Amino acid sequence: MSQVIQDKVIDENLKWSKINHDLIRTMETPGKMWWTAVLVCVAMVACAVAAEIYQYKYGLGSVGLNNPHMWDMYIATFVFWIGMSHAGTLLSAILHIIHAQWRKPIYRFAEAMTTFSLMTAGFFPMIHLGRVWNLYWVLPYVSDRGIWPNFRSPLVWDAFAISTYLSASALFLVIGMIPDMAVLRDHTKGWRKKVYGLMALGWRGDDRQWRNFRRTYMLMACFLIPLAISVHSIVSSDFAMSIMPGWHITSFPPYFVAGALYSGCAAIMTLFVVLRYFYRWEDYMTKNIMEKTCKLTFAIAMVWTYLNLIEFSSVWYGHNVYDKELLIDKATGPYAAVFWTMIICGMVAPFGLVFQSWRRHMPTMFVMSIVLQISMFTERWMIVAPTLSMSHAPHQWDILWGSVIEWAIVFGSFGWFSLLFLLFCKFLPAISTYEVKELCFHLKHEIEEEKREAEQKAKNTSAAGSQQPVSGSPGLEGA
Amino acid sequence: MSLSNILDNLSRFRQDAESERYGHHDYEHRFGMAIDLDICIGCNACSTACYAENNLPVVGKDYFEQGQAMHWMRIERYWDDEELEHPERGASFIPMMCQQCGAATCEPVCPVAATYHTPDGLNAQVYNRCIGSRYCSNNCPFRVRYFNFWSFYESSWPEPLNQQLNPDLSVRDKGVMEKCTFCIQRIRVAKDSAAREERNMIDGDVITACAQACPTNAIVFGDTMDPTSQVSLAWKKHEVKRGPYTHKEAKSDEEIRGYRVFDELNVDPSVMYLERVRDSEV
């Protein structure tokens, strides 16, 4: 117990120069590991590109789709990536607004993850179109024939929601990096200096700039939170707005948002461990922060579990024959293995986060986060596939496991995401130096404050004076 | 141009939404069908006629087994439980095609409005507009929408078979959704000739390929808005009404066999089926 109390979010005595140096050293000439990782990712993407070329040329039949299964893994993977994108917003916007300080050293890469997973997700609705070359018809451009998209269709809402969210989160990422860009500008040479100088937008760090910066950042955060929630609600409408059993469920929007935060937190945990290990960032990505992330994940996992159970029980007691049969079939039919993987990995495994010794053990947490990710992936699969396999018309019941083409593209999407993330780590600051500095400063300030308070108290008690002790937590603004 | 377009559509939409009538269209016709399953012998002639009429590609065994066949009209087969007291001899079957629902679930979900409701009461599918998102098929409880998963036309009609293609409608390429149209090309021809002769369409002007080919006349096709048409009479006789599902309204006689498939989903299908009289009931 004493260990927990002494354990700090971050060592407040970190030298600012050390923080700068620790960031810049990770962005130096890439080593062998980095190149290997990039090569692996490029190979994965190449698999997907080859598969996509084949599919483009010969048609969607190569994906193995058939009459009941008009959608399959593409849509499931799309929902998975969209879901992952919610973590960044959670950490950088929601936790920013509620002043959770511990988010500061880790929010930057989570935010980058948001943008990149959206960039990955965005491919899937395009890939899965039969005539992708007519994609722009979904957009409400002014046509001389007066033809508009169908504004009642959730797919059109998707197009709006995702493009808005992608541009807003990318903007948020770029804005949040301005002070760090200035640091990098001052510490690098050559072309990097030019690029970072441009991205720093003439940052000098004077009072006016900080004030404007904070205001903009807060405004963007407030804008992004409802956006993030609405995006996944709209993605859930793709299903909830239909009449299919297992899709037409009122609780889908909150269920999807909870699932999104869940998979996002799991992804943060994975990348946390990876960055901590490879960049030796133990000073910033401390075990304390991991613990807090784990607790947050656990809470979200419980919300998700609850919503899942609500869904099951409302189907069970609703006695809608189509829904109920589908639920029974999910649990006992051909997809049972996948379904139970989802239940065990998503509802039972998070209880491992209860143990402090587990939470503080990085390899365990790596495995745990992967387990949670698997649960989230299978969850999306179990939303999309079984409904189509066992919908209203029994004549059209079928099972689909997908073809090589389909799995290659799904596989490649992970490569694409990792590739973007690897490039990000080398070219942009994966850790927010200015917020870490701010955090150290505050902690120092707090400790001093406490000390002073204690001293005053001692004085007061000894003197039995009438003066009130100074109370209240130190302000969080300014740095 | 565009703004007035939006406003026009909006006012029409409001009109429709506020009207008390179920469904929201000013119909000229509402084509419908009545299919008597007791007369149907499951010979697949309707399906074959449909292939010939609508340029449907024959996909071959492999694709058929993958579930990628393009049979707009299909004969669904169901087997009774062996343990029943009077199991049916052989399979029960039902010809299933697009039900041209009045409140079609496929229509609102199409992102580009490639499927829409015509004044004839049909769900039209605009091939040229379709981008192949396949949401319509996902939302169809009957699963009667067929997607061109491959460029079937390349192999389906080798020379000289391409000479037998119906010139009245297109051959579809990959990436496009299609489905039963109630032989819309025949409806067009009948409408045009009626207009030339300066008369209204009468029952019997149009007959779909399936109804035409049916050896037992199990399929009756016509305009359900015309009270004298055969199909209207059949609907009336079997007490099936347009509009929302009202399962509480009991039929006046147990002998009356009319029903619509998935009526309880409130999609207002345009096809009425007459139940098969089972051996055990006779």
String of DSSP letters for A215-251: HHHHHHHHHHHHHHHHHHHHHHHHHHTS--TTT--TT
pLDDT score recorded for residue B248? 59
Question: Mean pLDDT across the stretch A410-429?
Answer: 94
Q: Are A231 and A114 in contact (CB under 8 A)?
A: no
Pairing of strands B271-274, B31-36: parallel
Of A213-222, A246-255, A365-374, B88-97, give the lowest mean pLDDT range: B88-97
B281 vs A223, residue with greater confidence: A223
| B4: in domain | no
pLDDT score recorded for residue A476? 45
Query: What confidence tens digit (pLDDT) does each residue in B2-21 have?
Result: 677 778 777 776 776 666 55
Domain total for chain A? 1
Query: What confidence tens digit (pLDDT) does each residue in B135-185 have?
Result: 999 999 999 999 999 999 888 999 899 999 999 999 999 999 999 999 999
d(CA B155, CA B133): 24
Residue to substitute from A131, A321, A399, A401, interface B, most B β-carbons within 10 A: A131
A398 in reach of chain B (CB within 8 A): yes
Element (H, E) at A365: helix A362-389
Pairing of strands B123-125, B177-178: unpaired
Q: Which structure tokens are listed for B222?
A: 């016509």
Question: Mean pLDDT across the stretch A162-187?
Answer: 92
- Residue B78 β-bridge partners: B92
A190 in reach of chain B (CB within 8 A): no
pLDDT score recorded for residue B247? 62
Of A2-16, A135-149, A299-313, B50-64, give the lowest mean pLDDT range: A2-16
Predicted confidence (pLDDT) at residue A44 exceeds the cutoff of 70: yes
Question: Mean pLDDT across the stretch B233-256?
Answer: 80
> What is the pLDDT confidence band of residue A479, given thresholds at 50, 70 and 90?
very low
A58 in reach of chain B (CB within 8 A): yes
Percent of the residues in chain A that have a pLDDT greater than 70, as a whole number: 95
Residue ranges making up the domain that contains A356: 68-101+108-399
A442 in reach of chain B (CB within 8 A): no
| A317: in domain | yes
Q: Which residue of A has its CA nearest to B261?
A: A393
For residue B146, the chain A residues in CB contact (below 8 A) are 67
Q: Which structure tokens are listed for A218?
A: 């807060």
pLDDT score recorded for residue B242? 84
> What is the pLDDT confidence band of residue A478, given thresholds at 50, 70 and 90?
very low
d(CA A76, CA A64): 15
Q: Is B185 helix (H, G, I), strand (E, B) or coil?
A: helix
Domain total for chain B? 1
Predicted confidence (pLDDT) at residue A339 exceeds the cutoff of 50: yes
| B35: in domain | yes
A61 in reach of chain B (CB within 8 A): yes
Q: Which structure tokens are listed for A455?
A: 């001293």
Burial of B197 from C-beta contacts in 10 A (0-12 / 13-18 / 19+)? exposed
| A124: in domain | yes
| A91: in domain | yes
- Residues near A436 by Cβ (< 8 Å), separated by ≥ 6? A10, A14, A19, A104, A105, A284
> What is the pLDDT confidence band of residue B1, given thresholds at 50, 70 and 90?
very low
Percent of the residues in chain B that have a pLDDT greater than 90, as a whole number: 63
Angle at CA of residue A437, ends A431 and A438, nearest 5°: 110
d(CA A395, CA B77): 7
| B71: in domain | yes
Largest Cα separation within chain B, whole Å, is 67
| A155: in domain | yes
For residue A320, the chain B residues in CB contact (below 8 A) are none
B129 in reach of chain A (CB within 8 A): yes
Q: Are A122 and A165 in contact (CB under 8 A)?
A: no
The residue ranges of DSSP E strands in chain B, in sequence order, are 31-36, 74-78, 92-96, 115-117, 123-125, 146-147, 177-178, 219-223, 258-259, 271-274
- Residue of B153, B140, B129, B162 lying closest to B57 (CA atoms): B153
Q: Answer yes or no: do A150 and B113 touch at CB < 8 A.
A: yes
Within the 224-253 window of chain A, which residues sit less than 8 Å (CB to CB) from chain B? 238, 241-244
- Residue of A381, A32, A26, A7 lying closest to A184 (CA atoms): A26
For residue A398, the chain B residues in CB contact (below 8 A) are 67
The identity of residue B92, as a single letter, is S
CA A439 to chain centre: 23
| A419: in domain | no
Of A3-17, A333-347, B103-117, B169-183, give the lowest mean pLDDT range: A3-17
Q: Answer yes or no: do B66 and A393 touch at CB < 8 A.
A: no
d(CA A237, CA B109): 11
pLDDT score recorded for residue B19? 63
Q: Are A292 and A90 in contact (CB under 8 A)?
A: no
Measured CA distances, B120 to A63, B100, B169, B182 (Å) = 36, 10, 18, 11
- Residue B259 β-bridge partners: B273
Measured CA distances, A445 to A441, B101, B148 (Å) = 6, 70, 68
d(CA B265, CA B141): 9
Question: What is this model's ipTM?
Answer: 0.88
Q: Answer yes or no: do B68 and A61 touch at CB < 8 A.
A: yes
Scan for tokens 């939302």, then name that residue.
Answer: B139
pLDDT score recorded for residue A145? 80
Scan for tokens 């209880």, then name that residue.
Answer: A351
A64 in reach of chain B (CB within 8 A): yes
Within the 226-265 window of chain B, which residues sit less than 8 Å (CB to CB) from chain A? 262, 265
Give me the residue from B105, B111, B151 closest to A155, CB to CB. Answer: B111
- Residue of B153, B175, B181 lying closest to B54 (CA atoms): B181
Q: Answer yes or no: do B147 and A65 touch at CB < 8 A.
A: yes
Mean pLDDT of chain A: 89
Checking phi first, is residue A205 left (phi over 0); if not, alpha (psi -120 to 50) or beta?
A: left
Residue to substitute from B62, B78, B138, interface A, most A β-carbons within 10 A: B138
Gap from A372 CA to chain B (nearest CA, Å): 29
Q: Three-state secondary structure along A176-214?
A: HCHHHHHHHHHHCCHHHHHHHHHHHCCCCCCHHHHHHHH
Q: Answer yes or no: do A148 and B6 touch at CB < 8 A.
A: yes
pLDDT score recorded for residue A383? 93
Gap from B214 CA to chain A (nearest CA, Å): 22
| B17: in domain | no
- Residue of A353, A341, A261 lying closest to A304 (CA atoms): A261
Question: Mean pLDDT across the stretch B189-217?
Answer: 94
Q: Answer yes or no: do A395 and B143 touch at CB < 8 A.
A: yes
Count other C-beta atoms under 10 Å from residue B160's C-beta. 7
The CATH number of the domain holding residue B92 is: 3.30.70.20
Q: Are A106 and A287 in contact (CB under 8 A)?
A: no
CA A246 to chain centre: 25
List of long-range contacts for B171-175, beta carbons under 8 Å, 24+ apart: B171/B55, B172/B55, B172/B127, B172/B148, B173/B148, B174/A58, B174/A59, B174/A60, B174/A61, B174/A130, B174/B148, B174/B149, B174/B150, B175/A59, B175/A60, B175/A129, B175/A130, B175/A131, B175/B130, B175/B131, B175/B132, B175/B148
Query: What confidence tens digit (pLDDT) does each residue in A447-457 have?
Result: 888 899 999 98
pLDDT score recorded for residue B281? 67
pLDDT score recorded for residue B87? 75
Question: Mean pLDDT across the stretch A275-287?
Answer: 89
B143 in reach of chain A (CB within 8 A): yes
For residue B175, the chain A residues in CB contact (below 8 A) are 59-60, 129-131
Pairing of strands B177-178, B146-147: antiparallel
Q: How many CB pairs under 8 A join A and B?
A: 156
Q: Which segments of A90-188 does DSSP mark as H helices, in order?
A: 95-97, 107-121, 123-127, 154-176, 178-187
Of A15-19, A170-174, A268-272, B7-11, give the lowest mean pLDDT range: B7-11
A397 in reach of chain B (CB within 8 A): no
A163 in reach of chain B (CB within 8 A): no
| A411: in domain | no
Q: Answer yes or no: do A395 and B96 touch at CB < 8 A.
A: yes
- Residues near B58 by Cβ (< 8 Å), separated by ≥ 6? B51, B156
Gap from A398 CA to chain B (nearest CA, Å): 8
| A422: in domain | no
The CATH number of the domain holding residue A224 is: 1.20.1630.10
Predicted confidence (pLDDT) at residue A466 exceeds the cutoff of 90: no
d(CA A350, CA A369): 9
| A364: in domain | yes
Q: Which structure tokens are listed for B139?
A: 């939302």
